[in-house]
Structure 1
């Protein structure tokens, strides 16, 4: 029951995120490639 609510909230588009879903924004950031200087 709580997991269903969590899923609904994470899949709800947000104005703050330019009407994208928090779930998709999180995974875009996670999959973003980062280059490090050594």
Structure 2
């Protein structure tokens, strides 16, 4: 997904805050990115 979407998606994912150390989106959950 990141390769196809490009660096903008990577940056958007990195902007999502961690809910636990090293975890931005736990299994079974979703996050909306631009």
Scaled to the shorter chain, the TM-score interval is 0.3 to 0.5
Higher relative contact order, chain-length normalized (CA < 8 Å, sep 6+) = 2
Higher helix share goes to which structure? 1
TM-score, normalisation: structure 1: 0.35
TM-score, normalisation: structure 2: 0.38
Say which one has the larger Rg.
Answer: 1
